[in-house]
A and B are shown apart, each in its own frame.
Chain A
Amino acid sequence: MLQLPLVVTAQVDLLLVLVSLLAFWTRLSHLNYPNAVVFDEVYYGQFVSLYMKRVFFIDDSGPPLGHMILASGAYLGGFDGNFVWNRIGAEYPSTVNVWSLRLLPALCGALCVPLVYLLTLELKFSHLSALGAAVLLLLENSLIVQSRFMLLESVLIFFVLLAFFSYLRFHNAPSSSWSRYSWLILSGVSCGAAVGVKYMGLFSYLLLLVVASLHTWKLIGDKTISHMNVCVQSVHRVLCLVVVPVLLYVFWFYVHLSFLNRSGPHDQLMSSAFQASLQGGLSRITRGQPLEVAYGSQVTLRSSVSQPIPCWLHSHKVNYPIRYDNGRGSSHQQQVTCYPFKDVNNWWIIKDPGRQQLVVDTPPRPVRHGDVIQLVHGMTSRFLNSHDVAAPMSPHTQEVSGYIDFNVSMPAQNLWRVDISNREAESEVWKTILSEVRLIHVNTSAVLKLSGVSLPDWGFRQLEVVADKLFKAHSSSLEWTVEEHRYGTSQEQKEREAELHSPTHIDVDRKISFWAKFVELQWKMLTVKQEESEHKYSSSPLEWITMETNIAYWLHSSTNAQIHLIGNPVSWGVANLSLLAYQLLAVVYLLRRRRGLKDVPDGVWDQFVCLGCVCVGGWLVNFVPFLLMDKTLFLYHYLPALCYLYLLSPALLEHAHTHLLSSVTHQRALCVGALAVLLSIFLTYRTFCPLTYGSPELSAHQLQGLKWRDTWDILYRRR
């Protein structure tokens, strides 16, 4: 039965609504100004374009969710991916919908403000403190700048705050309600999203896990709850906070890999099997190649290492110099190198040592693990050879050459044993692309290897190939895969050269599983080392605390209008002060409690500890790791840590107000002080607005006036 009257009661927190509206206004107004590429948009933009074109790429700066969010903004705006992001300041054409590109990060940035409000309430502080925290965030110029462009920090901060908010919501809810588990799941999902946007999210995620395990530990110690109940609750938490984020993380990669199925600029970093799974690129060449390598096969051999660059076993009609610069002698035989480009000289023919012919029998006789073969260079017909002559650049290893008989009692040693290192059976057949093979020199049992050094000018700066006796077990520099492959049909040298020049084309698909692709991509992302060099605006972590440096994001091409990443110096100072104050207070409280003097009741103490765990802990985990990092760092890396401090400041003020100050006059003085600080925060926000929003344009003199610190770089145009 319907119960009448039908009543809807709603409570609306007007303060919350107000700050949210203000947040939307500060973050979203004039979003498409400037209509030009701003700072790191140039970096993220290229990936957005690749997403639109569904072209595969690797970005070692973070997992794919961040790029996907930016790309979905572009998708909504109907961006077709046809824009080259090549320099900061380049104007966007009218075909690019700048507003939609920047919309999602700005939305996330705006939502952070009400989230901070709610989070303070969940930390059990008053609405006034919540308002204070929200205002601090609202008027922070650096956060506004970072949210208004196609950048990922605001998205990261949003998910981190959401994770903490929903976790605390779960924790504070009465244990009888089942709906609280939806908050726990939301927390897990946000954690997965935060880590998926940037690896930096991992720090906050770990902190949340620590907080959650402390709470669980208390739960385990609660003897009023039955064993069964404790088990069930613990398992729930593990499921929601560990399993869900991990699954989500993998899921981002699943979406990423299933979206990006075309070959692109980063293909060469991946293994042959991975490349073959992408449309175009290698799969176009290798499609339909015979799978089993047979005697008479024509192959190109790719080294498994992609450091410094991927390359193929190569030879050419030039000999090693008789004497090297340092006076050592060589065999003066034909050079064998590793060459990083496709070339007809990369073709080798697999020959049975017992027979003369260089064509494949019908039916083909496959080469198996353990077989002894000779390798004939396709264009010059020299045999791959090694002998006890020191290699040109790595003299502790053996030289590898194309054998020429100079009649100097240096016999040919051109037998190689095939050792398939990823074999499953002892007599496994050598497979194109899939098998990783070591070529072991039969006479000296040295292994064919890429030394990683490039040859000097006489070797055309190609990479040195050597045979090494003392080899490490699992070094990928020893392994080679057959990439291009066809069955040779021509016995005559001339015919064969023509055949080698012709492209290989036939049709079959090679699939590798998602997990293999995931593991490979993840591993590559973590190990690809980009050249670390200092950026003009990079800074060291210790400079962040005092905001020694700024970052110039954009400068108008003809006027002085410009956008800088500069924080609000007053809020920055408030944040640092509250951090110090909390630590001092905590030490004093702890020492006094240890001596049995309880300054505050236990409930308040718990609240104080919880505040410290989340806020000071959050600052620590988001700041200290950077001190140990060897990377190029920027001021914006500090923003997540800063948000935690903004959460801390008003709460600490409230704590001082209610529990430290006893006399009414002191309390009033504190309130007045706080108001004064808020006012000055607002004024500084207004002062720096032109540098935050890029308009109005300021004169050189006014810009000089904004240079509050000598170390800030503010640009003036010379008239």
Chain B
Amino acid sequence: MAKAECTPKWNTLALRNRKTCPTPEKSFQTTFTPVSKDKNSQTAGHLAGGDTQSSNGPSGQFLARESIESPSKVLLMLVAGLSFSTRLYMITEPPHVCWDETHFGKMGSYYINRTFFFDVHPPLGKMLIGLAGYMSGYDGTFPFIKPGDKYENQNYWGMRGFCATLGSFLPIFAYLIVLELSNSCTAAIIAATLLIFDTGCITISQYILLDPILMFFIMAAVLSMVKFNQQRYRSFSASWWLWLVLTGINLAGALGVKFVGLFVIILVGLNTIWDLWRLLGDMSLSLVDIAKHFLARAFALILLPVILYVTIFAVHFVVLNKSGPGDGFFSSAFQSRLIGNNLHNASMPEYLAFGSTVTIKNLRIAGGYLHSHWHLYPEGVGARQQQVTAYLHKDYNNLWVVHRQQDNNSQSGNPDLVRHGDIVRLEHKETTRNLHSHLHEAPLTKKHFQVTGYGINGTGDANDLWQVEVCGGRKGDPVKVLRSKVRFLHRATGCVLYSSGKTLPKWGWEQIEVTCSPYLKETPSSQWNIEDHINPKLPNISLSVLKPNFLEILLESHIVMFRGNSGLKPKDNEMNSKPWHWPINYQGLRFSGVNATEYRVYLLGNPVVWWINLASLGLYLTMVAVASIATQRGFSLGQQRIGGGLLMLGWLLHYAPFFTMGRILYFHHYFPAMLFSSMLTGLTLDILFRSADLLLHPPYSYWFQRAGQLLLLFSILYSFYLFHPLSYGMTGPLAHEPGSAMADLKWMDSWEF
């Protein structure tokens, strides 16, 4: 209903004050060059709805910004109200852990408990969740073990409410962005309506997830960017600075929640480059002015976000100072920071000796411990001997015993120290096999040799012998625990023990490959350090490990995160969601509940909304193609410029990269792109309705416009009424069984609610 009131009002108002303020042109728009005046005035009539007295050429875009504000404010309140009420409705249902809440809720708790953990995403999102939980009285004791666990008396509503609040801002931002881009309330209200009544957006906002937080920052960044573009004629004014800095802050926020935030950074970056290019071509500006512009943007959009992003990590490391489940992913030096870790204020024998039990850690970042276990290499992969891998977690199978070449176990007195150039035999403590290598291809890195566990109880062969070499050391230097970088040279083949960083397939339990490399260059992959060192015959000394500085920690944690991200490969039997499934709403995600008796929530977009979006993308492209060919041929459509280029680019940037990703993908990855797509729909449909007078005469075209808007509103509302149980929960038999209330709604066979 709101739409119907909006358009005529602002049109007339616009005409009255049309000289007050120019609507600046926007970047990324299709430009329509105005041509001969008489042609234009014939066709430009539809520009302002039913008013035939409209302007011609560029003056058609003159519009009074102040005058739109009163109706748009009312509408904005309406959007906000609807948005909050749909997101916060039944926020505490279901009262158990849903889907990925098991991860992000748990990580929120870790912040409250200050326990160190490892996650593939940057920390801001989880920090905010933790903060929200802390403020609302959650004490961090709930274990979040698996989806479906009952919350009982825990205060989980705070965390959910926080996410839902951020999620409620999305339609509001969409409304404002579209309003800025098009100056049309109708377009803005269409975009907002699509988002408010989309079941998918509601569902994803209602739980403890990173997505609402991420999307909040993405949309806020886009909004500030668009607002900043509007300030173009008031360079270096207060509001210009405000929006510029806000853009930078939101970019840092987006990247701080998930690396997907990178896409919006690229969007803003392209927009900025475009903007600078425009300034460069403006001959009224001196080079000094342009340099000022450039520096201002470099400060606000590069320097400021970097500082903020680094600050987030600083807070992360300061808050999490207790040892926890993520320790093994990090280097020995890093671990020594954590209270409760065995390396924190460590005390152990200082020099490596024969007969010691040790763990050996690769120096490559996230390199893992040298590991072996009771499993053989499968047939066809080198010799069928016991596997040797690198493993990131702490485990009994990481323990190795250092022996002499010829072992005389009955040694009394102080054991001899291992020195640079000594020949050792490394025996796996659990399985008593020796670390062994031979001239077989390694499983993945074919240029290297295979490393296995061989022999039993210390008896092996000549291929079990390794020469210890301290990097930068001379013959006779002892090996310092934790501090010396050690290489193990294979005696028989001359190769060096190496961790390739490649993940072994299933038979290797997805641990990391260990090989023997014939290339003797010193790289962290071929260097190891002794981490734990147990030798009862030697006195323990307290060691203060070199504490890493902040930049090293930052770099290390990023490399670990990237490794973790690319390591998330789809499993063989898992149903994998493909990017082309997403825009057609092919398949949703089960958030909670499997059986008929359980309370089920299913993440699936409102099909009507999504299919309208899909159609609008095609429609938009057709409209742009037709319009630009016509202009190129010299016709004028007199059409108002469409601000959709930016949104189209946003959609592409948030969608296309997924096609090239090797990691496992889920349906919810599409939601940021869906936001852009919905905003684009608002613009496109608005233009479409208003183009009616190309075919129809004024009263009819006006009716057509109204009818189209009403039909759209009605279909969105009705489909929301139909599909709302997807978000707010349903019980009863599954939809593919007869007798289910949802049976008629299973429009696609692939939906599983």
What is A's interface to B at a CB cutoff of 8 Å? 217, 220-221, 223, 227, 230, 394, 445, 451-453, 470, 472-474, 533-536, 538, 591, 594-596, 628, 630, 711
- Closest residue of chain A to B738 (Cβ to Cβ) is A445
Given contacts A220-B632, A472-B575, A591-B280, 17 further A-B contacts (CB under 8 A): A217-B632, A221-B633, A223-B633, A223-B634, A230-B633, A452-B572, A470-B734, A470-B752, A472-B752, A473-B748, A473-B750, A534-B445, A536-B446, A538-B446, A595-B283, A596-B283, A711-B519
A116 to B334, CA, bound (A): 57
Contacts of B277 in A (CB 8 A): 594
Q: Do the beta carbons of A451 and B573 come within 8 Å of each other?
A: yes
The verdict on B617 contacting chain A, using a C-beta distance below 8 Å, is no
Chain B interface SS verdict (over half): loop
Contacts A220-B632, A223-B634; A534 near B750 (Cβ below 8 A): no
- Closest residue of chain B to A711 (Cβ to Cβ) is B519
Contact code string B619-650 (vs A, CB < 8 Å = 1, else 0): 00000000001001110000000000000000
- Closest residue of chain A to B634 (Cβ to Cβ) is A223
Q: Do the beta carbons of B573 and A453 come within 8 Å of each other?
A: yes
- Closest residue of chain B to A472 (Cβ to Cβ) is B750
Q: Do the beta carbons of A594 and B281 come within 8 Å of each other?
A: yes
Please tell me which one of the listed residues B441, B573, B629 contacts residue A452 in the complex, with CB atoms under 8 A apart. B573
A536 to B632, CA, bound (A): 54
A227, A536, A594: most-surrounded residue (chain B CB, <10 A): A594
Contacts of A711 in B (CB 8 A): 519
Q: Do the beta carbons of A445 and B737 come within 8 Å of each other?
A: yes
Q: Do the beta carbons of B446 and A535 come within 8 Å of each other?
A: yes
Tell me the smallest distance from the CB of B493 to a CB of chain A, in Å.
14
What is B's interface to A at a CB cutoff of 8 Å? 277, 280-281, 283, 287, 441, 444-447, 519, 572-573, 575, 587, 629, 632-634, 660, 662, 734, 737, 748-750, 752
- Closest residue of chain B to A534 (Cβ to Cβ) is B446
Contacts of B575 in A (CB 8 A): 472
B281, B632, B662: most-surrounded residue (chain A CB, <10 A): B632
Q: Do the beta carbons of A221 and B280 come within 8 Å of each other?
A: no
Contacts of B737 in A (CB 8 A): 445
Q: Could you list 10 examples of A-B contacts with CB < 8 Å? A: A220-B632, A221-B632, A452-B572, A470-B752, A473-B749, A533-B446, A536-B441, A594-B280, A596-B283, A630-B662
Tell me the smallest distance from the CB of B723 to a CB of chain A, in Å.
19
Tell me the smallest distance from the CB of A417 to a CB of chain B, in Å.
14
Contacts of B281 in A (CB 8 A): 594-595
A223 to B519, CA, bound (A): 65
Contacts of A594 in B (CB 8 A): 277, 280-281
Q: Do the beta carbons of B446 and A595 come within 8 Å of each other?
A: no
Contacts of A453 in B (CB 8 A): 573
Contacts of A473 in B (CB 8 A): 748-750
A472 to B587, CA, bound (A): 9
Tell me the smallest distance from the CB of B227 to a CB of chain A, in Å.
26
- Closest residue of chain A to B279 (Cβ to Cβ) is A594
A538 to B444, CA, bound (A): 12
A220 to B444, CA, bound (A): 54
Contacts of A630 in B (CB 8 A): 662
A534 to B504, CA, bound (A): 12
Q: Do the beta carbons of A533 and B748 come within 8 Å of each other?
A: no
Tell me the smallest distance from the CB of A231 to a CB of chain B, in Å.
10
A473 to B581, CA, bound (A): 13
Tell me the smallest distance from the CB of B411 to a CB of chain A, in Å.
41
Contacts of B750 in A (CB 8 A): 472-474
Tell me the smallest distance from the CB of A437 to a CB of chain B, in Å.
17
Q: Do the beta carbons of B573 and A220 come within 8 Å of each other?
A: no
Please tell me which one of the listed residues B283, B572, B587, B629 contacts residue A220 in the complex, with CB atoms under 8 A apart. B629
Tell me the smallest distance from the CB of B332 to a CB of chain A, in Å.
30
Tell me the smallest distance from the CB of A218 to a CB of chain B, in Å.
9
- Closest residue of chain A to B749 (Cβ to Cβ) is A473
Contacts of B287 in A (CB 8 A): 595
- Closest residue of chain B to A630 (Cβ to Cβ) is B662
A473 to B747, CA, bound (A): 12
Contacts of A596 in B (CB 8 A): 283
A474 to B584, CA, bound (A): 15
- Closest residue of chain A to B633 (Cβ to Cβ) is A220
- Closest residue of chain A to B280 (Cβ to Cβ) is A594
Q: Do the beta carbons of B633 and A533 come within 8 Å of each other?
A: no
Contacts of B749 in A (CB 8 A): 472-474
- Closest residue of chain A to B734 (Cβ to Cβ) is A470
A596 to B283, CA, bound (A): 8
- Closest residue of chain B to A308 (Cβ to Cβ) is B572
A594 to B276, CA, bound (A): 11
- Closest residue of chain B to A591 (Cβ to Cβ) is B280
Contacts of A452 in B (CB 8 A): 572-573
- Closest residue of chain A to B659 (Cβ to Cβ) is A628
- Closest residue of chain A to B444 (Cβ to Cβ) is A534
